[in-house]
Chain A
């Protein structure tokens, strides 16, 4: 397995204000005042203390995919990803397992604000943490895409335990294929990653795979963080 780590700052990311608005609950996806100012202020401050860390592990063995059974096997470890995800990974030759975290500090900042009684700001910072880690993983995904492109390979979208009938309890299998405390992320018995603002999953690579730009239109999940993203 080959391992690679990434370190990113907020300035290197594309932070989508619409995602922030949506996660804050604004159905209009529009940030109104005073919330817009609060978001910008906390985002600015976050730049001084948030370090995004990501890591990928590339499997050596060929990825085995059984669409009918909804199973993919990475280096001998088989995952019950469900038919949908197995289908999306079908043409992949190898797999990349990933984790990314926005770190603990942003959650601490949110708690500090909440405890002070700054409820709105505390909520905003929590949501910023979510958007930052996703944007961090977007950036890593993009880098991977470009790296593999030079060798004539393409990458798939990313898929995570806990989405599309892939049981979140399989996080344990995923973590078993990665170095211990990878990017300082640990997994609790209940399959929760610490720090909380972390994501994990799998990306397929291969000559004939494609990145599905319109994945959202094809999926009926109503509560996905990726939803509606262009």
Chain B
């Protein structure tokens, strides 16, 4: 395998953004995700291979380490940022269809709720794992999700709520979406949300952290 691909995977894993970034210390002064992605493209490596053989590999390592409590959310975000720098070089190829994302994730904080940090973190991690993310922001109503499904019929939906009062709106949104699109995969999360609640309202997946939702998406994205 191309050495540079494994170096790029390591940049993602350890959150080495670009040459100028001083972190992590053991990679100081070396090229980062930004430079190496560009070099690989210049060398003629296919964008799809860069994505699957380096970027996603690196993110998978991040996921594993997070699951084992070896790293925490800030380190995960550092990797997501390195990923963003790499993805900026790949974006033109997604537009032309030369490379494909794993799927589309439409995410929002539910109607009545304005908390967005948790939702943002989830959005960044899902994006970092090779999905296109459409972030509808906060205070998002059922109609907005439905409109997005009409545009992206195979998308996955992600709902976030931080208060028990707004969890009620989550229930409403799930039932409105499922009423029209029973097959649409809906993922939910946020501090007060539980698996029991997920079962009760008929959503497809509850996860306490972004890693869980990535796993879920990968399992259904492969299946479909």
CB within 8 Å of B: which residues of A? 24-27, 33-35, 110-111, 114, 117-120, 122-124, 126, 162, 167-169, 188-192, 194, 196, 223
- Stretch of B5-13, B39-47, B143-151, B161-169 with 4 or more beta carbons under 8 angstroms from chain A: B161-169
Say yes or no: A35-B112 contact (C-beta < 8 A), given A119-B124, A192-B166.
no
Task: Report yes or no: B165 in contact with A191, Cβ–Cβ below 8 A.
Answer: yes
Given contacts A162-B163, A169-B164, 12 further A-B contacts (CB under 8 A): A25-B74, A33-B23, A114-B120, A117-B81, A119-B84, A119-B124, A120-B74, A122-B120, A123-B121, A190-B113, A190-B163, A192-B113
Smallest beta-carbon distance B72→chain A, Å: 4
A168 → chain B closest CB, angstroms: 5
Most chain B CB within a 10 A radius of its CB, from A33, A110, A120? A120
A25 with B73: CB separation less than 8 A: yes
User: What CA separation (Å) do A123 and B22 show in the bound complex?
Assistant: 20
Q: Jot down 22 A-B pairs with beta carbons below 8 A, ordered by A.
A: A25-B72, A25-B73, A26-B74, A33-B25, A34-B23, A114-B120, A118-B81, A119-B84, A120-B81, A123-B73, A123-B74, A126-B117, A162-B163, A168-B164, A168-B165, A169-B164, A189-B112, A190-B113, A190-B169, A191-B165, A192-B112, A196-B114
Most buried by A among B22, B77, B81: B77
Contact of B74 among A124, A189, A192 (CB under 8 A): A124
Identify the closest chain A residue to B22 (Cβ).
Answer: A34
Interface: B141 (CB within 8 A): no
Chain A residue at minimal CB-CB distance from B128: A119
Q: CB within 8 Å of A: which of B57-87?
A: 69, 72-74, 77-78, 80-81, 84
Taking CB atoms, residues of chain A closer than 8 Å to B165 are 168-169, 190-192
Could you tell me the distance between the alpha carbons of A223 and B117 in the complex, rounded to whole angstroms?
Answer: 16
Bound complex: CA of A24 vs CA of B115, how far in Å?
Answer: 16
Q: How far is the CB of A113 from chain B (nearest CB, A)?
A: 11
Q: CA separation between A34 and B21, bound complex, in Å?
A: 11
Q: Report if B191 contacts A (CB, 8 A).
A: yes
| A156 smallest CB distance to B (angstroms) | 24
A93: min CB distance to chain B, Å: 31
In the bound complex, what is the Cα–Cα distance between A34 and B22 (angstroms)?
A: 9
CA distance A153 to B2 in the complex (A): 73
Q: Is the CB of B124 within 8 A of A110?
A: no
User: What residues of chain B lie closer than 8 Å to A35, measured between beta carbons?
Assistant: 74
Q: Which of B25, B69, B120 contacts A27 (CB 8 A)?
A: B69
- The answer to whether residues A119 and B163 also contact, given A114-B120, A192-B114 and a CB cut-off of 8 A, is no
Q: Nearest 5 CB-CB pairs, A to B?
A: A190-B112, A25-B73, A25-B72, A119-B77, A126-B117
Encoded as 1 (CB less than 8 Å from any A CB) or 0, chain B from 105 to 139 comes to: 00000011111110011001000000000000000
Kindly list chain B residues whose C-beta atoms are within 8 Å of the C-beta of A27. Answer: 69, 72
